[in-house]
Amino acid sequence: MKPLVALIGRTNVGKSTLFNRLTRQSRALVDDQPGVTRDRLYGDVTWEDHAFLLIDTGGFGDTEDALSSRVRQQAELAAGEADLVLFMVDGRQEIQPDDLEVAQYLRRSGKPVLLVINKIDGPKQETRLPEFYRFGLTPLFPISAQHGLGVGSLLDAVVRYLPAAPDAGEPPEGIRVAVLGRPNVGKSSFINRVLGEERLIVSDTPGTTRDAIDAPLIWDNRPYVLIDTAGIRRRSRIHQNLERGMIWQALRALQRAEVVLLLLDAQEGLTEQDLRILNFIAVAGKGCLIGVNKWDVVGKDSQTQKAALDRLNMGLQLISYAPVLPLSVLTGYQVSKVFPLLDEIYRQCQFRAATGELNRIFAQIVAAHPPPRYRHRSVKFYYLTQPDSRPPTFVAFTNIPGATPDSYRRYLINQLRERLGLPYAPIRLHFKGKKHRRGSRIASGQSKD
């Protein structure tokens, strides 16, 4: 499992800016207004062949309202889970009372801490650095999260401080399947049924499962590891640190899994919380099987069943590649179909295409439906590469990377999925600029500029 690094500090010191820079994405909102970040955000960071999970948190504030209290609890929970804490302060300001409060809390936590002094953009700000020895944390790491100054030295230190991977012996063999869903949709009951024993506690009380539990399983002579997780609740029902920790365990299980079984409740249909879980899965790029549990309580006639499935499918556009399987853990209806589908999803998520065949298919796709023009210019595609699998990830080299509309991106992804035989795979497609060289363009479908 990847080590965890938490960004901790008072409001408006630049934690989200650093998070976005290190994770190379813009998921964290950034604004001059203090307190923009409320929930924890998680992102993968790779540096010098080391990988870790970075946690962005809301700031420790001096207000006592209920919202600020919950934001602080989220930050404290992140610090408690982390292997290393980056304590971040504003190098352009004097040390604030909130900075001292954060430092005191971190000393009590016993966690390894690196002091990161942000907004050090030049010699003028560097003259303030001696003031920050007051925290008793050395060495100091002056950086500019906005401009990237000093970030490399900070990352060098981070990977030195991260713990070595624990020797846990040989991990269980098999495809790792995270069983996700809201509380009381039947996750533990499903695992108990396929294991043939009461391995996990089952109760009508939502939230019985608190930790992610690995359960090795042999099904039809194939090995699996089922990861049972706590149900992910609506935010309005998350009151205690324990339940926040349960959600964190579920998200870590998602990180460890190779495929996901998401269980929905056929009686309740697709809820807002189900959509939130689907978003977690889509962002992680995981293959997913959607199991609609308690199908035995849906009407017996085919019209009622079709209407129920149609309502579900209308809300699943975010993860439209995921197959939907009605089942009943109670009666065993269609439970035996789960594992063949998981096998196929896993296979497709490992797919890697031969470069020549990939570009032949890509040329056909573009020729069949050329890209729209951009500001009176032709959009040309030169070639397609696949830098990664798990999930299948493609990069299309083009003369105008930012010119491809979302509708055409969806067309390309759907065509790649169909022609490569990957109906269940979460495909990622990126565009990258490349100057046209004579003879290198494989497809454009447009006249010259």
Q: Annotated binding residue at 111?
A: no
Q: Do the annotations mark residue 2 as ligand-binding?
A: no
Q: Is 108 annotated as a binding residue?
A: no
Does residue 119 have a known ligand-binding role?
A: yes
Task: Tell whether 229 is in a known binding site.
Answer: yes
Q: What angle do CA 148, 152, 154 make, to 5 degrees?
A: 100
Is 279 a known ligand-binding residue? no
Q: Which residue has the tokens 């504003």?
A: 90
Is 9 known to sit in a ligand binding site? yes
Distance between CA atoms of 288 and 416, rounded to whole angstroms? Answer: 18
293 is in an annotated binding site: yes
37 is in an annotated binding site: no
Spatial CB neighbours of 285, under 8 Å, sequence gap ≥ 6: 390, 391, 426, 428
Is 399 annotated among the ligand-binding residues?
Answer: no
Is 231 known to sit in a ligand binding site? yes
Q: Which of 376, 387, 391 is nearest to 428 (CA)?
A: 391
Question: Has 121 been labeled as part of a binding site?
Answer: yes
The SS3 of residue 393 is strand
Residue 241, annotated as binding a ligand: no
State the SS3 of 36-81: CCCCCEEEEEEECCEEEEEEECCCECCCCCHHHHHHHHHHHHHHHH
Residue 228 annotated as binding site: yes
Q: Could you tell me where the beta strands, DSSP code E, fall in 247-294? A: 259-265, 287-293
Residue 230 is assigned to a ligand binding site: yes
Binding site annotation covers 232? Answer: yes
Residue 366, classified by CB atoms within 10 Å of its CB into exposed (0-12), middle (13-18) or buried (19+), is buried
Q: Is 148 among the annotated ligand-binding positions?
A: no
Start-to-end Cα distance in the chain: 51
Q: 414: annotated binding-site residue? A: no
Query: Would the annotation count 187 as a binding residue?
Result: yes
60 is in an annotated binding site: yes
Place of tokens 């069943």: 305
The helix (run of H) or strand (run of E) holding residue 20 is: helix 15-23
14 is in an annotated binding site: yes
Q: Quick one: 305 exposed, middle or buried, by C-beta within 10 A (0-12, 13-18, 19+)?
A: middle
Q: Is 448 within any annotated ligand binding site?
A: no
How many angstroms separate the CA atoms of 351 and 346, rounded?
A: 9
Tokens matching residue 357: 């065949």
**Is residue 269 part of an annotated ligand binding site?**
no
Angle at which helix 151-161 crosses helix 15-23, to 10 degrees, equals 80
DSSP string for residues in 190-237 = HHHHHHTS--S---SSTT---S-EEEEEEETTEEEEEEE-PPPPPGGG
Annotated binding residue 219:
no
Binding residues for GTP: 9-16, 56-60, 118-121, 181-188, 228-232, 293-296
Binding positions are 9-16, 56-60, 118-121, 181-188, 228-232, 293-296
